[in-house]
Amino acid sequence: MRVAAYAPGRVELLGNHTDYNQGVVLAAAIDRGLKVSGERRTDGLVALRSSSFGEFTIRQENFRPQTEPRWVNYILGVVQELIDANISIDDFSAEIDGNLPSGCGLSSSAALEVATALFLLKLFGAHLPPLEVAKLCQRSDHRFVGVQSGLLDQVTSIFGRAHHAVYFDARTEEVRTIPFPPELALVIGESGTKRELAGSLYNQRLEETRAAAAALGLVALRDITPGELAKRDLPSLLYRRAAHIVGENDRVQRALGLLAQNDGRGFGALLNESHESSRQNFENSSAELDLLVEVARSLPGVYGARLTGGGFGGATVTLCESSAAARVAEDLAQIYLQRTGIESRIFVCRIADGAR
């Protein structure tokens, strides 16, 4: 029996790096994703084939993180976590295909993990609740890939809903879908500079934000408001890292009211604030991301723009009027090419349903 599973990528709207600080996030599943399809086999092998990255074969008894090719770790890690959860996984073949670009901040790694988990659960007749699937994929990130990621990406890929943003509280694990105004649209702009979280400053930022919380005597940075933080004394680096996380949590909460009021300008202003904080306080932007944001903000019909995802390269998200979206995408691509020589993929993003 051949089975298949699909999981979308996600765009982070607000709440940058807040999930591993027990904070709140606003994101959305997008209309680009990855499909994993395949069947059982009986020769002792797990055989993987990606339309983008090639083929790989391994025996289960040889499972360990691979230095090359690294893309297989997102699959092997999920297999190992399912086995550790006492779910029987035998030999199988899997093919990976889709239209979600990798390494650009749209969470292709989480989409691959979620699609793999759902594929294997279906193939071997097992079941886990949706949030448990997300946590299992996160553990795979931690233990097999080496990235101490939060839970946002997997949660958004699983719980996404068409025409809705996903609100996620990483402390209480509350997940809510928030109607997204139809007169607003999102444009994704790839910077053309890929990021590699395991080898980047991602884990360092995690350590810095936890050090800031400890210095403030807090369980996590969500336990202090921007006004309270301004009165506290911290080393400059830790203060700036904390200011970003605390500000992002506040921006997410303010955004909920603005979306309910269909206030595109107000919501866009929060995106602008977020990017400036990423640039100055968290230092996870780049020259290319800054340029995409600067150009996008100059275009008619645009309300705001910011980097999306982990940063350190990757992509931006631009909030604009729906009627202007196609023109914004075209102009942004053309101007970015003229300024950098980089032919970037820039596209209008539809908010889509989650994994299936």
| Side chain identity at residue 167, one-letter code | Y
Contact predicate 274/287, CB 8 Å = no
| Token reading at 291 | 């340029």
pLDDT of residue 133: 98
Average pLDDT of the chain? 95
User: pLDDT at residue 199 above 90?
Assistant: no
Sequence-distant (≥ 6) Cβ neighbours of residue 49 within 8 angstroms: 55, 56, 93, 94, 95, 96
pLDDT tier for residue 101 given thresholds of 50, 70 and 90: confident
Q: Helix crossing, 108-123 with 73-84: angle to 10°?
A: 50
- Domain 3-176's class? alpha beta
Q: What is the pLDDT of residues 117-133, one digit of tens each?
A: 999 999 999 999 999 99
pLDDT tier for residue 202 given thresholds of 50, 70 and 90: confident
* Distance set, CA 344 to CA 101, 102, 194 (Å): 12, 14, 12
Rounded mean pLDDT of 280-284? 96
pLDDT of residue 232: 97
Contact predicate 200/177, CB 8 Å = no
pLDDT of residue 234: 97
Distance (Å, rounded) from C-alpha 341 to C-alpha 169? Answer: 40
pLDDT of residue 195: 65
Rounded mean pLDDT of 167-182? 97
Neighbour count for residue 136 (Cβ, 10 Å): 22
Of 63-67, 279-283, 294-298, where does mean pLDDT reach its minimum?
63-67
pLDDT tier for residue 148 given thresholds of 50, 70 and 90: confident
pLDDT tier for residue 78 given thresholds of 50, 70 and 90: very high
Rounded mean pLDDT of 290-303? 98
pLDDT of residue 197: 58
Rounded mean pLDDT of 161-185? 98
Q: Say if residue 69 is preceded by a cis peptide, omega within 30 of 0.
A: yes
| Token reading at 206 | 């995690």
Neighbour count for residue 348 (Cβ, 10 Å): 17
Say whether pTM exceeds 0.85.
yes
Domain with CATH 3.30.70.890 in the chain: 180-349
Rounded mean pLDDT of 25-29? 98
Please tell me which residue in 153, 169, 250, 331 is annotated as part of the active site: 153
Sequence-distant (≥ 6) Cβ neighbours of residue 228 within 8 angstroms: none
Length of the chain: 356
Q: Taking CA 253 as the corner, what is the angle to CA 273 and CA 167, rounded to the nearest 5 degrees?
A: 105
Contact predicate 28/180, CB 8 Å = yes
Distance (Å, rounded) from C-alpha 99 to C-alpha 8? Answer: 10
Rounded mean pLDDT of 77-89? 97
For every residue of 281-312, DSSP letters joined together read: II----HHHHHHHHHHHTSTTEEEEEEESS-S
pLDDT tier for residue 103 given thresholds of 50, 70 and 90: confident
CATH superfamily of 180-349: GHMP kinase, C-terminal domain (3.30.70.890)
User: pLDDT at residue 104 above 90?
Assistant: no
Beta strands in 221-290 (DSSP E): none
User: pLDDT at residue 198 above 60?
Assistant: no
Rounded mean pLDDT of 52-56? 95
Share of the chain above pLDDT 90, in %: 91
pLDDT of residue 146: 87
Distance (Å, rounded) from C-alpha 178 to C-alpha 60? Answer: 42
Known active-site residue 153:
yes
Q: What is the pLDDT of residues 297-355, one digit of tens each?
A: 999 999 999 999 989 889 999 999 999 999 999 999 999 999 999 998 999 999 999 99
Rounded mean pLDDT of 245-274? 98
* Distance set, CA 347 to CA 65, 139, 151 (Å): 34, 32, 26
Give the three-state DSSP class for 81: helix
pLDDT tier for residue 196 given thresholds of 50, 70 and 90: low
Give the three-state DSSP class for 222: helix
Distance (Å, rounded) from C-alpha 1 to C-alpha 290? Answer: 49
Distance (Å, rounded) from C-alpha 344 to C-alpha 205? Answer: 28
How do the residues of the chain divide into helix, strand and coil, expressed in percent and rounded to 5?
45, 25, 30
